[in-house]
C-alpha cells in the first residue's frame, strides 16, 4: 500500500512547461512555480501568470483592467462583474487589493492534465477578449451601458431570481 504522504505530486513544474510547449505558446519561468505568458487578442494584449501550488493551478490576468478612480463608477462595474461571474464558465472576475480587476481560472492539481491546461488558457483568452471593452469602459467612462447596468436603473421586481 502506498503512503499518500509520499505520493508524487499530481502536477510538476516540468508538466506545466511541457503543456506550454504542446499548447504552442512561449513562456518565461519567473519563479520556481510561476510562469508568464501572454497573447494579443482582438481587443487588447494580455499577460497571463500561471502559478502551481500544492493543490491548485492558477491562471491569472492581473490587471485585466485598472480599477475605476471614481467611486460612483464602482457600483455599475461591480454589478456587471458579478453578473458576468454568473454567466461565464471556468473563469471568474475579481478585484485585487489595489481595486484593479483580474480574470482568473483556478483548477485543482488532482488529475490535472494537458486538456485542463488548454481549457483554462482557451477560456481566459475567450472571456478576456469578449468582455474587455465593456469592463474597461465601465471602469473609465460614465456613459457606458450594458444589459447588466441597465438592471440597476430598472424598478425593483417581486419576481424570483433567475434559475440555473
Residue 162's pLDDT band (cuts 50, 70, 90): low
- Contacts by 135-138, CB closer than 8 A, 24 or more apart: 135/64, 135/65, 135/77, 135/80, 135/81, 135/93, 135/101, 136/65, 138/68, 138/73, 138/76, 138/77, 138/80
From the centroid of its chain, how far is CA 134?
A: 15
Residue with cell 510561476: 34
| Lookup: cell for 20 | 506550454
pLDDT reading at 49 higher than 80: yes
pLDDT digits (tens, 9 = 90+) for 70-129: 988 999 999 999 999 999 999 999 999 999 999 999 999 999 999 999 999 999 999 999
Q: What is the mean pLDDT of the chain?
A: 91
pLDDT at 1: 45
Residue 8's pLDDT band (cuts 50, 70, 90): low
User: What's the mean pLDDT in 41-55?
Assistant: 97
User: What's the mean pLDDT in 23-33?
Assistant: 97
Q: Which residues pair with 51 in a beta bridge?
A: 34, 58
pLDDT at 132: 97
Amino acid at each position: 500500500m502506498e503512503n499518500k504522504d509520499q505520493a508524487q505530486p499530481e502536477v510538476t513544474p516540468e508538466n506545466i512547461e511541457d503543456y506550454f510547449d504542446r499548447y504552442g505558446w512561449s513562456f518565461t519561468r519567473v519563479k520556481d512555480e510561476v510562469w508568464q505568458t501572454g497573447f494579443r487578442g482582438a481587443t487588447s494584449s494580455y499577460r497571463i501568470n500561471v502559478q502551481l501550488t500544492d493543490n491548485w493551478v492558477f491562471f491569472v490576468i492581473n490587471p485585466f483592467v485598472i480599477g475605476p478612480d471614481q467611486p460612483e463608477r464602482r457600483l455599475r462595474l461591480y454589478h456587471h462583474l458579478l453578473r458576468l461571474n454568473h454567466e461565464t464558465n471556468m473563469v471568474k472576475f475579481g478585484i485585487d487589493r489595489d481595486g484593479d480587476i483580474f480574470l482568473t481560472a483556478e483548477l485543482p492539481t488532482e488529475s490535472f492534465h494537458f486538456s485542463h491546461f488548454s481549457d483554462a488558457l482557451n477560456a481566459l483568452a475567450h472571456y478576456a477578449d469578449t468582455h474587455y471593452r465593456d469592463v474597461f469602459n465601465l471602469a473609465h467612462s460614465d456613459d457606458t451601458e450594458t444589459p447588466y447596468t441597465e438592471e440597476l436603473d430598472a424598478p425593483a421586481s417581486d419576481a424570483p431570481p433567475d434559475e440555473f
